[in-house]
């Protein structure tokens, strides 16, 4: 499903502060897996996400999604296959656009945006139903600006936006780290619900070992750009980490 | 009465420029200096074409369409060459100065005695023949309505929505599969189209085109934008973009009225640019000043 072959990535190439992140890094993720990635700061977790999403390109190596070589596709071209939720709740949605406008844009993720009207009545009904499932009471606020929602609400809508068109891979980059504990739990439960309902292949970065224990089917631990541990969840002994 | 209509019609014609700058400054969140160049570019093109006998309506449209190329260049400088927004615009603007002199062959062109879109109105409405001010008003009004309606429609389309989202949150737009470079270039081109159109209209209404006609125009447009936004608290359509666009028309008209008043109070016309810059700075800074005042008030209570 998702394959990274012999990836090399350096930052600040040929400079005094050159930093090697990945050297001959390989990863193979199967369809339907929910992979939780853990590891300390600077281990390469976010770089890995950015390589997959295409916001940075590898120096060497190849990336395949569903046996299609996407190594040289730009970020917006890969977005057809990839849904993404960022750590910062403000990054995933446009604050000055309304909720329905944000959702309409998400609905067109894998399509060309043309001169048809952005929002149709059919879409509105669909959005309402989808928002209802979030259980946040925002299904009747389609025309409110996104910016008036709280961080937790915005992150929930962003999650919905990422999955509105079923992605081949869902990337979650510490998407609950900036939320209060209560919203954090809520978003994680929602994440699990959406992922299992739609059988989405997902990668989630977390700093929280409890989350790693609770969610996901496979755990990968990164250290200095290498996979230190890669195991299915039931086999892992969390106390040893 | 005559004076009022004259002020109104000036406002309506300059609205086209305000709309152009509004697209980059407020929707795309891009401080685009190209406007000064593309305004003159449109004016020069239109005048040069008309002197070669091209129909004034056609000249107007061509001036707008060719004017949009200025936005294309700024867009490429910014998105492909990765030059900062403000500098990309300045480069295009400066380059256009030479281009405009090339187009006109000299620093200014007079349209004296040429038939313009305003004189064309004589054939349709013979009763307005001598009333130049009323004709300017009618033409300004029609073009304004047309511009506001078409921009409003555009920003409701999928593409228009994507352009707005690019200005609001570029990273999100890319994550949702939007080619943000393309959207920026498109918005800059639409903006330049309106600036060029405004230049052509201004040249036809004042009867000449001048290489310096664009100088300071961006500040006039910004002043109109910030004045217009003050009306946003009164004009609240469900459709936010339509409200903003209408406020831009109001802002441009009110700006002209303010200018008319201060000139009548005896201000030296050469001081207008200083005055306009001051209004813009103060209105842009007002929200911050209010916060500052609140802070001071809070300290007193504490």
**Residue to substitute from B152, B154, B175, B238, interface A, most A β-carbons within 10 A:** B175
Contacts of A76 in chain B (CB under 8 A): 173-174, 177-180
CA–CA min distance B21, chain A (Å)? 19
Mean pLDDT of A60-84: 92
Which among B160, B162, B169 is the nearest to A93, CB-wise? B169
Whether residues B165 and A97 touch (CB distance < 8 A) is answered with yes
pLDDT of residue B2: 81
DSSP, res A105: H
- Which tokens sit at A1? 């499903």
A-contacting residues in B 145-174 (Cβ below 8 Å): 154, 156-162, 164-165, 168-169, 171-174
Q: Which residues 84-103 of A are in CB contact (within 8 Å) with B?
A: 84, 86, 90-98, 101-102
Whether A235 shows a pLDDT value over 90: the answer reads no
Determine the pLDDT at residue B301: 47
Name which of A55, A76, A109 is nearest B179 (Cβ-Cβ): A76
pLDDT of residue A41: 86
Cα B73 from Cα B78, distance rounded (Å): 9
Tokens at residue B249, please?
Answer: 């028309």
Which structural domains are found in chain B, ordered by start?
Answer: 2-271 (1.10.3470)
Residue A110 has a pLDDT of 85
Q: How many C-beta atoms surround the C-beta of residue A87 within 10 A?
A: 17
Please state, in angstroms and rounded to a whole number, the distance separating the CA atoms of residues A34 and A201: 6
Answer whether residue B302 shows pLDDT above 50: no
Instruction: Choose from B155, B165, B177, B238 for mutation: most chain A CBs within 10 A.
Output: B177
Its CATH architecture, for the domain A2-240, is 3-Layer(aba) Sandwich (3.40)
CB-CB contact of A127 with A141 (8 Å): no
Measuring CA to CA, which residue among A13, A10, A14 is closest to residue A23? A10
CB nearest B164 (choices: A97, A108, A143): A97
Question: Cα separation of A111 and B155, whole Å?
Answer: 18
Contact B156 A117 (CB under 8 A): yes
pLDDT value at A225 more than 90 = no
pLDDT tens string A119-141: 888 899 999 999 998 888 898 99
Does position A10 have pLDDT exceeding 70, yes or no? yes
Q: Which residues of B touch A56 (CB under 8 A)?
A: none
Phi, psi of A150 (to 5 degrees): -75, 165
Q: Do B174 and A79 touch (CB under 8 A)?
A: yes
Q: What share of chain A is helix, strand, coil (3-state, %, to 5)?
A: 35, 25, 40
At A91 the pLDDT is 92
Question: What strands lie across the sheet with A201-205, from one edge to the other?
Answer: A82-85, A169-173, A201-205, A34-38, A218-223, A226-232
Chain B contact for A106, CB < 8 A?
A: yes
Contact B169 A114 (CB under 8 A): no
Which of residues 197 through 256 in chain B touch A, CB cutoff 8 A? 238, 240
In the predicted model, is pLDDT for residue B294 greater than 80? no
What number of other Cβ atoms are within 10 A of residue A208's Cβ? 16
* Residues composing chain A: 241
Model confidence over B110-144: pLDDT tens digits? 998 888 888 887 777 777 666 788 888 999 999 99
Cβ-contact A53, B175 below 8 angstroms: yes
Q: Is the dihedral of CA A164, A170, A176, A179 positive or negative?
A: negative
Report which secondary-structure segment, H or E, holds B126: none
Look up residue A203 and give its two tokens: 């990668």
Which of B156, B180, B238 has its CB closest to that of A118? B156
pLDDT at B103 over 70: yes
- B152 to chain A: nearest residue by CA? A117
Q: Which two tokens stand for residue B54?
A: 């091209």
H helices within B80-131, ranges in order? 85-104, 117-124
In Å, how far is A224's CA from the nearest CA of chain B?
27
- Greater pLDDT, B13 or B130: B13
Q: Domain residue spans in chain A?
A: 2-240
Spell out which residues of chain B touch residue A102, defining contact as CB-CB under 8 Å: 165
The span from the first CA to the last CA of chain B, in angstroms, equals 55
- C-alpha distance across the termini of chain A, in Å: 28
Query: Distance (Å, rounded) from C-alpha A19 to C-alpha A12?
Result: 7
Place of tokens 């209060």: A180
Has residue B49 got a pLDDT over 80?
Answer: yes
CA–CA distance, B156 with A119 (Å, rounded to integer): 8
Tell me what the pLDDT averaged over chain B comes to: 92
Cβ contact, residue pair A143, B164, below 8 Å: no
Residue in B with minimal Cα distance to A84? B175
A110 contacts in B (CB within 8 Å)? 177
The interface predicted TM-score (ipTM) is: 0.89
Q: What percent of chain A has pLDDT over 90?
A: 60
pLDDT on residue B46: 97
Identify the weakest region by mean pLDDT among A14-23, B81-90, B179-188. A14-23
Which residues lie across from A109 on neighbouring strands? none
pLDDT of residue A135: 85
From A52, A54, A105, select the one nearest A75 (Cα to Cα).
A54
**Contact assignment for A55 to B174 by CB distance below 8 Å:** yes
Task: Name the pLDDT band for A213 (thresholds 50, 70, 90).
Answer: confident
Which comes out higher in pLDDT, residue B123 or A105?
Answer: A105
Min Cα–Cα distance to chain A from B140, Å: 27
């Amino acid at each position: 499903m998702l394959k990274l072959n012999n990836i090399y990535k350096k930052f600040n190439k040929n400079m005094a502060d050159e930093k090697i992140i990945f050297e001959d890094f390989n990863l193979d993720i199967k369809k339907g897996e929910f992979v939780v990635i853990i590891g300390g700061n600077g281990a390469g977790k976010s770089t890995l996400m950015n390589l997959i999403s295409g916001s940075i390109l590898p120096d060497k190596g190849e990336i395949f999604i569903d046996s299609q070589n996407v190594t040289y596709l730009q970020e917006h071209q890969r977005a057809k296959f990839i849904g993404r939720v960022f750590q910062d709740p403000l990054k995933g949605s446009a604050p000055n656009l309304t909720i329905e406008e944000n959702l309409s844009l998400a609905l067109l993720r894998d399509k060309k945006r043309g001169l048809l009207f952005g929002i149709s009545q059919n879409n509105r009904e669909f959005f309402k139903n989808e928002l209802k499932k979030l259980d946040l009471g925002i299904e009747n606020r389609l025309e409110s600006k996104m910016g008036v929602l709280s961080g937790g609400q915005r992150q929930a809508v962003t999650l919905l936006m990422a999955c509105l068109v079923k992605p081949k891979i869902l990337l979650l980059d510490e998407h609950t780290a900036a939320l209060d504990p209560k919203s954090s739990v809520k978003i994680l439960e929602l994440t699990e619900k959406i992922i299992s309902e739609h059988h989405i292949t997902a990668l989630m970065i977390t700093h929280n070992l409890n989350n790693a224990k609770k969610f996901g089917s496979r755990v990968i631990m990164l250290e200095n750009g290498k996979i230190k541990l890669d195991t299915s969840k039931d086999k892992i002994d969390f106390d040893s980490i | 009465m005559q004076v009022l209509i004259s002020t109104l019609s000036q406002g309506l014609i300059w609205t086209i420029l305000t709309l152009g700058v509004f697209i980059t400054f407020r929707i795309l969140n891009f401080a685009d200096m190209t406007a000064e160049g593309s305004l003159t570019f449109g004016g020069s093109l239109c005048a040069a074409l008309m002197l070669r006998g091209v129909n004034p309506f056609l000249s107007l449209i061509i001036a707008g369409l060719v004017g949009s190329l200025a936005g294309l260049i700024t867009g490429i400088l910014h998105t492909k060459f990765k030059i900062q927004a403000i500098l990309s615009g300045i480069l295009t603007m400066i380059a256009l100065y030479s281009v405009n002199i090339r187009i006109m062959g000299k620093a200014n062109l007079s349209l004296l005695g040429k038939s313009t879109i305003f004189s064309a109105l004589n054939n349709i409405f013979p009763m307005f023949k001598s009333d130049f001010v009323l004709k300017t008003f009618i033409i300004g009004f029609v073009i304004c309505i047309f511009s506001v309606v078409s921009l409003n429609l555009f920003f409701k389309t999928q593409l228009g929505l994507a352009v707005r989202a690019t200005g609001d949150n570029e990273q999100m737009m890319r994550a949702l599969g939007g080619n943000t470079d393309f959207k920026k270039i498109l918005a800059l081109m639409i903006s330049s189209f309106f600036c060029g159109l405004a230049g052509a209209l201004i040249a036809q209404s004042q009867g000449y085109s001048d290489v310096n006609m664009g100088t300071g125009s961006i500040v006039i447009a910004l002043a109109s934008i910030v004045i217009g936004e003050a009306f946003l608290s009164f004009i609240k359509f469900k459709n936010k973009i339509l409200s903003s666009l209408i406020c831009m028309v109001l802002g441009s008209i009110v700006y002209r009225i303010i200018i008319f008043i201060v000139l009548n109070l005896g201000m030296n016309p050469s001081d207008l640019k200083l005055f306009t810059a001051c209004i813009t700075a103060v209105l842009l800074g007002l929200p911050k000043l209010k916060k500052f005042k609140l802070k001071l008030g809070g300290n007193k209570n504490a």
